[in-house]
Structure 1
Amino acid sequence: MNMDQAGDELIKTTIRTASGRLTCAEVLGHKEFIMTKLYRSA
Protein backbone atom coordinates (compact mmCIF):
# COMPACT_ATOMS: atom_id res chain seq x y z
CA MET A 1 0.00 0.00 0.00
CA ASN A 2 1.47 3.34 -0.99
CA MET A 3 0.76 6.74 0.57
CA ASP A 4 -2.02 7.61 -1.90
CA GLN A 5 -3.81 4.33 -1.19
CA ALA A 6 -3.39 4.79 2.57
CA GLY A 7 -4.81 8.32 2.33
CA ASP A 8 -7.79 7.11 0.31
CA GLU A 9 -8.47 4.35 2.85
CA LEU A 10 -8.27 6.83 5.73
CA ILE A 11 -10.76 9.16 4.02
CA LYS A 12 -13.16 6.26 3.32
CA THR A 13 -12.96 5.08 6.93
CA THR A 14 -13.55 8.60 8.25
CA ILE A 15 -16.61 9.03 6.02
CA ARG A 16 -18.04 5.65 7.06
CA THR A 17 -17.55 6.49 10.74
CA ALA A 18 -19.07 9.97 10.35
CA SER A 19 -22.02 8.33 8.58
CA GLY A 20 -22.79 6.17 11.62
CA ARG A 21 -20.56 3.10 11.41
CA LEU A 22 -19.49 2.01 14.89
CA THR A 23 -15.84 2.23 15.82
CA CYS A 24 -14.01 -0.80 17.24
CA ALA A 25 -14.13 0.77 20.72
CA GLU A 26 -17.91 1.22 20.46
CA VAL A 27 -18.38 -2.38 19.30
CA LEU A 28 -16.37 -3.56 22.33
CA GLY A 29 -18.58 -1.48 24.64
CA HIS A 30 -16.04 1.13 25.70
CA LYS A 31 -17.81 4.24 26.96
CA GLU A 32 -15.00 6.28 28.51
CA PHE A 33 -13.95 9.59 26.99
CA ILE A 34 -11.16 11.98 27.82
CA MET A 35 -10.55 15.38 26.33
CA THR A 36 -6.81 15.82 26.06
CA LYS A 37 -5.50 19.27 26.77
CA LEU A 38 -2.98 20.20 24.08
CA TYR A 39 -2.16 23.68 25.33
CA ARG A 40 -0.56 25.23 28.39
CA SER A 41 -2.88 26.70 31.02
CA ALA A 42 -2.73 30.46 31.55
Structure 2
Amino acid sequence: KLNANRVVVGTLRGFDQFMNLVVDNTVEVNGNEKTEIGMV
Protein backbone atom coordinates (compact mmCIF):
# COMPACT_ATOMS: atom_id res chain seq x y z
CA LYS A 1 0.00 0.00 0.00
CA LEU A 2 1.39 3.39 -1.02
CA ASN A 3 0.46 7.00 -0.40
CA ALA A 4 -2.99 8.19 -1.60
CA ASN A 5 -4.34 4.69 -0.75
CA ARG A 6 -2.74 3.20 -3.87
CA VAL A 7 -2.02 -0.53 -3.92
CA VAL A 8 0.51 -2.18 -6.24
CA VAL A 9 0.89 -5.90 -6.87
CA GLY A 10 3.85 -7.51 -8.60
CA THR A 11 6.99 -9.61 -8.31
CA LEU A 12 9.70 -8.31 -5.98
CA ARG A 13 12.99 -8.40 -7.92
CA GLY A 14 15.27 -6.58 -5.50
CA PHE A 15 15.80 -4.06 -2.71
CA ASP A 16 18.61 -2.18 -1.01
CA GLN A 17 19.54 -1.05 2.52
CA PHE A 18 17.32 2.05 2.10
CA MET A 19 14.26 -0.12 1.28
CA ASN A 20 14.13 1.05 -2.34
CA LEU A 21 12.23 -1.70 -4.17
CA VAL A 22 12.33 -3.06 -7.72
CA VAL A 23 8.98 -4.64 -8.61
CA ASP A 24 8.31 -6.36 -11.97
CA ASN A 25 4.96 -7.10 -13.67
CA THR A 26 3.43 -4.36 -11.53
CA VAL A 27 -0.31 -3.65 -11.50
CA GLU A 28 -1.80 -0.67 -9.65
CA VAL A 29 -5.16 -1.51 -8.09
CA ASN A 30 -7.49 1.41 -7.35
CA GLY A 31 -10.93 0.15 -6.32
CA ASN A 32 -12.20 -1.94 -9.24
CA GLU A 33 -9.76 -0.34 -11.68
CA LYS A 34 -6.44 -2.03 -12.55
CA THR A 35 -3.59 -0.34 -14.44
CA GLU A 36 -0.57 -2.28 -15.71
CA ILE A 37 2.61 -0.35 -14.93
CA GLY A 38 5.40 -2.80 -15.77
CA MET A 39 8.72 -2.57 -13.90
CA VAL A 40 8.97 -0.05 -11.05
Q: Higher strand proportion, which one?
A: 2
Shorter chain as denominator, the TM-score bin is under 0.3
Q: Higher helix proportion, which one?
A: 1
Higher Cα Rg, which structure: 1
Instruction: Return the structure number with greater relative CO, CA threshold 8 A, min gap 6.
Output: 2
Structure 1 length-normalised TM:
0.19
Structure 2 length-normalised TM:
0.20
